[in-house]
Amino acid sequence: MLNFNSALKKENQYNDLTIKEISPVMKLIVRGKKREFFTNIGKNLNMILPTEANTSSTNDIISAIWLSPDEWLIFTNNKVDENTNKYELEENLFHSVSKHNLGAVVNVTDQFVMLELDGKNIYELFSTGSPFDFSKFKKKQGSTTQTLLNNIDVIIRHKSENLVNLFVRRSFSEHLSSWINDSASRL
Partner 1 sequence: MFIINCPYCGERDQQEFKAGGEAHIERPKQPTELSDDEWAEYLFMRKNIKGVQFERWNHAHGCRKWFNMVRDTSNDEIKLIYKMGEKPPVE
Q: Which residues here bind partner 1, judged by CB under 8 A?
A: 53-54, 67-69, 71, 131-133, 145-148, 153
Least Cα distance to 68 among 109, 104, 115 occurs for 104
The residue (of 107 and 147) whose beta carbon lies closer to partner 1 is 147
Smallest distance from partner 1 to CB 9, Å: 28
Shortest distance, position 130 Cβ to partner 1, whole Å: 9
Task: Pick the closer one to partner 1 by CB: 98 or 146.
Answer: 146
Cα distance between residue 119 and residue 126, in whole Å: 12
Helix and strand numbers, DSSP H then E, in the chain: 4, 11
- Return the number of the residue (48 or 148) whose C-beta is nearest partner 1: 148
User: What are φ and ψ of residue 71, in 5° steps?
Assistant: -145, 135
Smallest gap from Cβ 132 to partner 1, in A, equals: 7
Picking from 186, 178, 151, the residue whose alpha carbon sits closest to that of residue 19 is: 178
Of 131 and 160, the one with the shorter C-beta distance to partner 1 is: 131
Which of 68/83 has CB closer to partner 1? 68
Report whether 45 contacts 56 (CB < 8 A): no
Shortest Å distance, C-beta 146 to partner 1:
5
Is residue 112 within 8 A of residue 27, CB to CB? The reply is yes
Instruction: Tell me how far apart the alpha carbons of residues 182 and 180 are, in angstroms, rounded to a whole number.
Output: 5
- Nearest approach, Cβ of 69 to partner 1 (angstroms)? 6
